[in-house]
Amino acid sequence: MQKFGIVNTKEAKYFKKLGARIKHLREEKGIDQKSFAFDCGIGRTQLYMIENGKTNPRLLTLMKIADGFGVSVRELLEIPHNYL
């Protein structure tokens, strides 16, 4: 059994890609992890876990992150197939 609700390899790969996308967007804006997490109303550790693909983020958390970037959740979740 795997930790954090990621139950198969396909899901694990997706969460790694999603985390990498979130990290890339955050770094592109020049915002450090602690500040961005605070601005979004989530914990820094939670953001770290998401960015490293180690957790399955809740919809509310994704909404807060998307809002922090000024994009829709749909835009946030649009990950190109060749990403990573």
Q: For 40-83, give the DSSP string.
A: HTS-HHHHHHHHTT-S---HHHHHHHHHHHTS-HHHHH---TT-
Look at residue 16 and tell me whether its pLDDT is greater than 50.
Answer: yes
C-alpha 47/C-alpha 38 separation (Å) is 10
Q: What is the pLDDT of residues 36-67, one digit of tens each?
A: 999 999 999 999 999 999 999 999 999 999 99
CATH architecture, range 9-77: Orthogonal Bundle (1.10)
What pLDDT sits at residue 80? 77
Look at residue 2 and tell me whether its pLDDT is greater than 50.
Answer: no
Least confident stretch, 5-9, 10-14, 23-27, 68-72: 5-9
Name the pTM for this structure.
0.86
Residue spans of the domains in the chain: they are 9-77
C-alpha 26/C-alpha 20 separation (Å) is 10
